[in-house]
């Protein structure tokens, strides 16, 4: 089965393609010829994921899924949350985003946080949401060179390394995106897809 993943983020595309069963072929927005920036005007992760999926379904008439992910930091009242990609500005600069988080937490000892991913699936005129959450804490500095986004400053509970230090196989098993994707895969399997 071919399934469109509504993202322009090459890192997400690579991560997700490693998790999908071999009988599902991931189609990128570039493969579709969709180069425009899909509006993310929702006030929640759920709304943004659904907006992206709906955009592709409406403009291309094809089944697809989209995700939105946020880093939720307790000491920052849930920020950056739905604004995670643009926390330090519209240019979506991961380094600047991490710098801003570390600056905001400079004198704060309680650094509990969680990543949350919501996947919106549009399939056969149905719209379904899947959610994945991983609890953890924010480091005091960037650690590790793998991963993307906030991975170098997030240590999941039960581990002493950031997502950017952990092997990709471990990250994919325990991550927010991995958990949401597993729910999506289970759903697709039950539908006989």
Domain covering 2-190, topology: Maf protein (3.90.950)
- Residues taking part in catalysis: 68
Task: Give the neighbor-by-neighbor strand order of the sheet with 25-27.
Answer: 25-27, 2-5, 64-73, 112-123, 126-138, 154-156
Q: Which residue ranges make up each domain of the chain?
A: 2-190
Mean pLDDT throughout 164-169? Answer: 93
Convert 66-93 to b/e letters by CB count within 10 Å (16 or more is b): bbbbbbbbeebeebbbbebbebbeeeee
Is the omega angle on the peptide bond into residue 80 within 30 degrees of 0, that is, cis? yes
User: What does the angle CA 42 – CA 117 – CA 8 come to, to the nearest 5 degrees?
Assistant: 70
pLDDT score at 142: 95
Secondary structure class of 137 (helix, strand, coil) = strand
| C-beta separation of 2 from 25 below 8 A | yes
Cα gap 132→121, rounded to integer Å: 14
What DSSP assignment string belongs to 32-66?
HT--SPPP---SSHHHHHHHHHHHHHHHH---EEE
Indicate whether 25 pLDDT > 90: no
pLDDT at 193 over 80: no
**Which of these, 56, 13, 14, lies nearest to 37 by C-alpha position?**
56
pLDDT category, 65, cuts 50, 70, 90? very high
What is the band of 96 on the pLDDT scale with cuts at 50, 70, 90? very high
Mean pLDDT, the chain, whole residue set: 93
Radius of gyration of the chain (CA): 16
Min mean pLDDT across 17-26, 102-111, 128-137, 179-188 is at: 17-26
Distance CA 69, CA 90 (A): 16
Residue 93: predicted pLDDT: 92
Q: Which pLDDT value is given to residue 178? A: 92
- The residue-averaged pLDDT of 61-84 equals 95
Is-contact 121 65, C-beta < 8 A?
A: yes
- Give pLDDT, residue 1: 79
Give the side-chain half-sphere CA count within 13 A for 12: 22
The reported pLDDT for the residue numbered 17 is 86
pTM: 0.92
The C-alpha atoms of residue 121 and residue 66 are separated, in whole angstroms, by: 7
Least-confidence region, from 13-17, 92-96, 109-113, 132-136: 13-17
């Amino acid at each position: 089965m071919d399934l469109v993943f509504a993202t322009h983020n090459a890192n997400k595309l690579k991560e997700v393609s490693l998790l999908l069963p071999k009988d599902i072929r991931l189609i990128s927005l570039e493969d579709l010829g969709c180069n425009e920036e899909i509006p993310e005007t929702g006030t929640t992760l759920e709304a943004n994921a659904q907006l992206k999926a709906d955009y592709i379904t409406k403009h291309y008439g094809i089944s697809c899924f989209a995700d939105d992910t946020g880093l939720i930091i307790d000491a920052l009242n849930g920020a950056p949350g739905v604004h995670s990609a643009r926390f330090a500005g519209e240019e979506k600069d991961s380094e600047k985003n991490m710098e801003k988080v570390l600056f905001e937490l400079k004198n704060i000892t309680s650094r509990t946080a969680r990543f949350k991913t919501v996947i919106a699936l549009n399939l056969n005129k149905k719209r379904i949401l899947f959610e994945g959450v991983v609890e953890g804490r924010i480091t005091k500095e960037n650690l590790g060179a793998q991963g993307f986004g906030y991975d170098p400053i997030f240590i999941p509970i039960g581990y002493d390394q950031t997502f950017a230090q952990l092997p990709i196989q471990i990250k994919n098993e325990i991550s927010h995106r991995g958990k949401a994707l597993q729910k999506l895969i289970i759903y697709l399997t039950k539908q006989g897809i």
